[in-house]
Amino acid sequence: MSDIDVIRETINYEELLREGETNHVLKGEHLIRDSQYPDIKDVLGADVKATITSKEVLGDKIMVEGKIEYIVFYVSKEEPVEDSPYNKVHAVIFNDKFANYIELNNDEHNIVCNVECDIEHIEADLLNERKVGISGILILRWGIYKNGEFEYVKDIDGTEDIQVQREEEPINKLKGEKDLDLMGKSRLKASIDKSEIDEVLKCDMNLHKKEIKVVDGKVYVGCYCRIMLLYKGRNNRELESLVDDVYLSKEEEIPGISGEMLTDMDLKVYDQQYSVNLDDVGENRVVEIEFIVKGKVKIYSKERVEILKDAYSPTMNIDLESGKTEFALIHDMANSEVTAKETLELKNREDRVEEVIFVTGRPMIKEKVVEDERVRLEGVVKTYVLYKLASEELDYGILVDNVPFSTVVDVKGLRKNMKVVAKASLENIDASIEGNAISIRANVNISLKAYYRVNKDYIKEVIKGNNEVKEKQASIIIYIVADGDTLWKLAKRYNTTVSELERLNEIEDVNNIKAGDRLIIPGRATF
C-alpha cells in the first residue's frame, strides 16, 4: 500500500472503433382495406419514411428496430360525376416494422452504437385493384464508439523531499452532455385561393439552420423546422401544399463548460401530430401541428494537462508503477456546405409540367476519402417531386431521382490515417420548371469529426520502498556531461536535486547543458 499521498485524475474519452452499412430488404404486399379508397387503376409511385425506434445490445449483436410509413400514390378507376376537372389521384398510407442486427467483434465491449437509416430504393407495383406490392432497400448507417477512461497520477502531495517531473499532454475531456427535448407548434392555414382540406396526405419536416452556442456554464441550442404539408382538396379537387418554418430553441445549464470548447449536436423530429380544424367561416382550412424534436448535445474540452512523468527522493527509496495506454483524441470538428444541382427529365417526354406541388430531399454520403489536410466526399440528394401536368384533367406525376454532389472539406492538420465521421443534412431544396423537365437545387450541410489515436506512458502508482537510507558515495563529484545527460537524470542518479545543481553551477537554463561541460555534484560535503 502506498505511504505517499498522490493526486490522481481520470481522463474520459470517446473513440470511433469502426463504422459501416447494413442493407435491409423491404418487401411486402399491402391491401387497401378502407372502403373510402376507390379501386386502383395505376400506381404513380411511393414515398417512404423510416424511423429507428430502439437499439439494444444482445450478446455479440446489436438489435435495431424501427417503423416504416409508406405513402402510395395511385390513379383510381372511378369516373367523374360532374363535368368539371376531377382528380383521380389518391394516396394511401401503409405502416410496417423492420428489425436487423449489427454484428460486434469479440473485443467490442461497453460500446455505444449510433445508427441512422436511409432508403436506398423504393418501388410500388400494382398487384390487383386493391393490392400493392412494395419493394426496396433500407440502409442502416452505423458507427460503433467506445467510451473509455484511464486513471493516472497527476502529482504527489505532502512530501517535500520527493522530486517530481511533469509534462504537458493534449487531451479531450467530455465536460458535459445533455439530452434535449424541444416542443414545436405550427398553425397552417389554406388561403382562399386554395381548396378546402379534405385529407392530409403527407407532413414532411426538415430541421435546418442548426446552431449551438456555449457560454460559461450554459449551452444554447436553436434550429428551424421547415414543415411541408400535402393535402387533397375537398370534393376530389386539386392536390395542394402548405409551408411553414418554425424556430425552436432551448437553453440548458452544464457546469464547467466555456465558449472555446468543442461542441457536437444531433437533433431529430419525433412524435408529430396534426389535426384539421375549421376556420372563422366554418371551412376546413386550418391544420394544427405539434411535434417534438429530441437530441443530445456533447461538450468537449481541448486542453493540455500536466501528467507526472518521473519522481524520486534523494533520501528514501520510492517505486514507480508505470503503465501504457492507447486512446483517442478529437483532432477537430468542421462544417461546410455544398450545392447539389441537376435537371431531371420526365419519364414521358410528351408530358408538360404546369406546377411543382411538393418537393423533398434526403442527402446521403456515398463515398468518403480522407487525405492529408482534407476530406473528399461524394453523395446524392434523393429527391422526391410531385408535380401537376398541363392538361384538361387534374393529372399529376411523381419523379424520384438522385441529384449528385461532391465537395472537398479542408481540415487543418488532418492526416490520412485519422478516422473521420461525416454526416450530411438538408438545408433547403427548391424545384423549378425548365421546359418539360424539373430543375433541382439543394443546399447540403456537411459536418465532420476527426479522431486520432495516441500511445502514452503514464505513472499508475507511487509506493514507498524499503527503509534503507540512501548515502552519498563521495564528498564531491566533478562530472563531465555526456550525450543524453540532463540535470534531472544526473540529480536522480546522484541523490540530489535539480535546484541544487543549478545553484552550485550557476545554471540559469536547465536545458542549456551540453556534452563536455563540467558540473559540480554535491556529496557528503556541505556547501
pLDDT at 7: 86
> Residue 336 domain-assigned?
yes
Distance (Å, rounded) from C-alpha 166 to C-alpha 305? 10
Q: Assess whether 289 and 417 both reside in one domain.
A: no
> Residue 322 domain-assigned?
no
Q: Assess whether 277 and 212 both reside in one domain.
A: yes
Which cell numbers hold the place of 294?
Answer: 429530441
Distance (Å, rounded) from C-alpha 48 to C-alpha 66? 13
* pLDDT tier at 236, thresholds 50, 70, 90: low
Q: Assess whether 288 and 197 both reside in one domain.
A: yes
Each residue's pLDDT tens digit, 82-129: 555 566 788 899 999 999 999 999 888 888 899 999 999 999 999 999
> Residue 306 domain-assigned?
no
Burial class of residue 413, CB neighbours in 10 A (0-12, 13-18, 19+):
exposed
* pLDDT tier at 456, thresholds 50, 70, 90: confident
> Residue 315 domain-assigned?
no
End position of a domain, from candidates 282, 301, 320: 301
Question: Which DSSP category does 87 fall into?
Answer: B
> Residue 390 domain-assigned?
yes
Tell me how crowded residue 190 is: count the other CB atoms within 10 A of its CB: 22
Which cell numbers hold the place of 484?
Answer: 543524453
The letter for the amino acid at 298 is K
Distance (Å, rounded) from C-alpha 461 to C-alpha 156? 10
End position of a domain, from candidates 421, 451, 481: 451
> Residue 318 domain-assigned?
no
Q: Assess whether 152 and 178 both reside in one domain.
A: no
Which cell numbers hold the place of 178?
Answer: 445533455
End position of a domain, from candidates 451, 481, 511: 451
Per the structure, the complete domain to which residue 507 belongs is given by 472-522
pLDDT of 526 above 60: no
Question: Distances in Å between the alpha carbon of 200 and those of 285, 287, 289?
Answer: 11, 9, 12
Closest CA to 240 of 357, 329, 409, 125: 357
Predicted TM-score (pTM) of the model is 0.85
Q: Assess whether 2 and 124 both reside in one domain.
A: yes
Distance (Å, rounded) from C-alpha 52 to C-alpha 50? 7
Q: Assess whether 102 and 223 both reside in one domain.
A: no
Q: Where are the beta strands (DSSP E) in 390-517?
A: 396-410, 419-434, 437-464, 476-480
pLDDT at 156: 84
Q: Assess whether 5 and 107 both reside in one domain.
A: yes
> Residue 456 domain-assigned?
no
pLDDT at 337: 96
Q: Assess whether 149 and 110 both reside in one domain.
A: yes
Q: Assess whether 182 and 266 both reside in one domain.
A: yes
What stretch of H or E contains 2?
none
Mean pLDDT of the chain, nearest integer: 89
> What's the structural domain count of the chain?
4
pLDDT at 470: 65
Q: Where are the beta strands (DSSP E) in 61-110?
A: 61-76, 89-103
C-alpha count within 13 angstroms, C-beta hemisphere, residue 146: 18
Q: Assess whether 18 and 148 both reside in one domain.
A: yes
Q: Assess whether 150 and 64 both reside in one domain.
A: yes
> Residue 154 domain-assigned?
yes
pLDDT at 323: 86
Q: Assess whether 2 and 150 both reside in one domain.
A: yes
> Domain with 481 in it: what CATH number?
3.10.350.10
In this structure, what are the phi and psi dihedrals at residue 395, rounded to the nearest 5 degrees?
Answer: -105, 145
